[in-house]
Structure 1
Amino acid sequence: MRRRGRTSGSLALRGMVAAALGAAPVGCDAATGSILDRDELVVAVKADQPGLGLKTGSGGFEGFEVDVARYIADYLGKRVSFVATTSEGREDKLRDGTADLVIATYSISPPRKEQVTFAGPYYVARQDILVRRGTTAIRDVRDLAGRRLCQASGSISTSRIVEARGIAAVLVPAKTYGECVELLRRGEVEAVSTGDLILAGYAARDRDAFTILNAPFTEERYGVALPLGDVAGCEEINRALTAMYQSGAVKTMLQRRFGASGLDLTRFVPQFEGCE
């Protein structure tokens, strides 16, 4: 793997020129600069999503999104550390400087692009439905009408069902998808719906308890979130993600984390959003 430690040289020169002109460095926020200026990247990931982002007993983190973060940091020649985030706390982690990047099943959407800059997507998931094993009454998204559906705080997945499709599911709130799955286990909700990678992690962990319907009905374009305006950092991360796919590294990552779930995994390079 190539390492790209572009933290000085041309970037420093650009910053000096911008400062001399009384302006912020090109493609950066005046207060925070670019993530390329950091020696270490602090990445916010989920702590309760098996296969994607999970806090271990030793206090570390593991999962596909942790693997992606490590690949990006290695490509850029940076050290990396991790902090936990929930869906509703992702923007705040960037605003208050707790994290330099957020890689936490963060679906790219126009409203969110007004708050953060997205690199990627690093994976295009498809929204699907998780039910208790043996369930036959729910076969696709239309069968969610009148059913108790968990709504994780800060997620937009349920709005794609209720608002975009006009399906009158009964929404039951929870803080995280981990809580949603526990509600499903106890029978307090009848379904959980979000990106299939999230569901695959839980299905692989508890294959005797849950089933993915494999009835996808929309896409979830997971992006790497940076502070708003960091175009230079975004472009370098897109180069890292391209290398991750072209080298075959992503295939190994996905197989390791989700191979046991039976999910049809996407292994082609996603079409990037663009950093401007």
Structure 2
Amino acid sequence: MKISKAAAAAAVAVALALTATACGGSDKDSASDAGASGGAKKDKIVIGIKFDQPGLGLKTPDGKYTGFDVDVATYVAKELGYQPDQIEFKQAVSAERENLISNGDVKLVVASYSINDKRKAKVDFAGPYLLAHQDLLVRADDTSITKAEDLNKKKLCSVTGSTSAQNVKTKLAPEADLQELPGYSECLTGLENKSVDALTTDDSILAGYAAQDKNKGKFKLVGLKLSDEKYGIGLKKGDTELQTKVNAALRKMVADGAWDAAVQKNFGPAGYKNEPAPQITEGS
């Protein structure tokens, strides 16, 4: 009986030791994985994009993501070591982009994000990767609007609170009848049924809407350059290492032709005359 108890005790001790060893190994692996998730092991990268801008960043009903910003983000992520299935796209509405970056909710923001000094006080940028301009979208058969001043006495549409529309009305066409609607889709409907005469915002955004299958042939860009909008990739302030890597990826995308291919794929059907890829000015 004593031998049996001793044997049993020994067996328990061995079992406990083995369990402890296994647990220890598991904890080590978990710690390794956890540490890797923080940057050593590239499990995934979270990138902020727009979900509602055709041609730039759009989440389709089947859960896919399309647009020029999506193509740029995917290319950059690949150069950073992430395959498409390792990318998590997160919606980045305009008012939340700085917060998403500062709070660490996203690693990058690629969302028609114009570089300006106010934003650079809070985040850093890589790029720019696209030079856009404020423009006008009109009906394809409209020959009466060829310059901003032609909007006088006409109905100009943009989204509520748009600085683009105010810019036109204040500086260029003071007699324009400004119609502010909740979204660009409503403006397009108005443009199609002739309740408005023109829609204004960045030409890249306008081209994206005009290039949609349901809109092909209905609208055209006037081709004005009412402002310069340099789209950059937002990232955490002070992360110069990431900034340098993203800039290198953007340069490579231009050099190997992928940038031009993405422009034609996403904007070409609208007859969008894009500027050449801009020189990278942010960071090194």
Q: TM-score, normalised by structure 2?
A: 0.73
Greater alpha carbon shift after TM alignment, 77-86 vs 67-76:
77-86
CA pair 218-94 structure 1, distance change in 2 beyond 3 A: same
Are residues 1:149 and 2:149 paired? no
CA separation in 2, counterparts of 1:221 and 1:50?
Answer: 19
Runs (5+) with no aligned partner, structure 2: 1-37
The superposition leaves residues 194-248 of structure 1 with CA deviations (integer Å, 9 ceiling, x where unpaired) of 2222111222221232121123333221111113332222221111101110111
Rounded to whole Å, the distance in 2 between the matches of 1:237 and 1:35 is: 16
CA RMSD of aligned residues (A): 2.8
Distance in 2 separating the partners of 1:36 and 1:155: 42
Q: Which runs of 5+ in 1 are unaligned?
A: 1-33
Q: Which residue in 1 is equivalent to 2:252?
A: 243
Aligned to 1:41, which of 37, 40, 45? 45
- Cα distance in 2 for partners of 1:191, 1:93 equals 33
User: Contact 1:87–1:176 (CA<8 Å) still a contact in 2?
Assistant: no
Residue pair 2:158, 2:201 contacting (<8 A) in 1 also: no
Counterpart code for 2:107:
D
Deviation at residue 152 of structure 1 after TM alignment? 3.2
For residues 39 and 114 of structure 2, what CA distance do their matches in structure 1 show?
A: 21
Deviations 1:48-82 (A, max 9, x none): 22221111121121111101000000001133111
Aligned-partner residue type, residue 72 of structure 1: V
In structure 2, do the counterparts of structure 1 residues 119 and 36 end up closer, same or farther at CA, with 3 Å as the change threshold?
A: farther
More helix by share: 2
Whole-Å Cα distance in 2 between the matches of residues 83 and 178 of structure 1? 22
**In 2 relative to 1, CA 115–153 (structure 1 residues): closer, same or farther, beyond 3 Å?**
farther
**For the residues of structure 2 that align with 1:247 and 1:53, how far apart are their CA atoms?**
22
Between the two proteins, the alignment pairs up a number of residues equal to 241
Asked if the contact 1:48–1:178 (Cα under 8 Å) also holds between the matched residues in 2, the reply is: no
Superposition deviation, residue 257 in structure 1: 1.7
Q: Which amino acid aligns with 1:55?
A: K
Distance 1:67 1:154, change over 3 A: farther
Give the superposition deviation at 1:83.
Answer: 1.8
Contact 1:130 1:199 in 2 (8 A): yes
1:63-82 superposed matches below 5 A: 63-78=67-82, 79-82=86-89
Contact 2:149–2:172 (CA under 8 A) maintained in structure 1: no
- Tell me, yes or no, if structure 1 residue 196 matches structure 2 residue 203: yes
**1:185 maps to which residue?**
192
TM-score, with structure 1 as normaliser: 0.75
Pick aligned residue for 1:207 from 196, 216, 241: 216
CA distance in 2, matches of 1:154, 1:99: 27
Q: Secondary structure of the residue that 1:218 maps to in structure 2?
A: coil
Larger radius of gyration: 2
SS at match of 1:157: helix
Distance 1:145 1:110, change over 3 A: farther
Instruction: Report the more deviating stretch, 67-76 or 202-211.
Output: 202-211
**Most deviating of 237-246 and 129-138:** 129-138
- Give the counterpart letter for 2:249 in structure 1: A
Q: 1:166 Cα shift?
A: 5.2
Deviations 1:21-69 (A, max 9, x none): xxxxxxxxxxxxx989974221121222222111112112111110100
| C-alpha spacing 1:57/1:107, structure 2 compared with 1 (3 Å) | same
Counterpart of 1:117?
Answer: 124
Question: Does 58-67 or 216-225 show the bigger shift?
Answer: 216-225
C-alpha separation between the residues in 2 aligned to 1:210 and 1:95?
Answer: 39
Given that 1:67 and 1:253 are in contact with CA atoms closer than 8 Å, whether structure 2 keeps it comes out as yes
Does the CA contact (< 8 Å) of 1:36 and 1:233 recur in 2? no
Secondary structure at the counterpart of residue 228 of structure 2: strand
**Counterpart-to-counterpart distance in 1, 2:259 and 2:116:** 23
Bigger shift: 242-251 or 88-97?
Answer: 88-97
Contact 1:35 1:100 in 2 (8 A): no
| 1:182-201 superposed Cα distances (whole Å, 9 cap, x missing partner) | 44335454322222221112
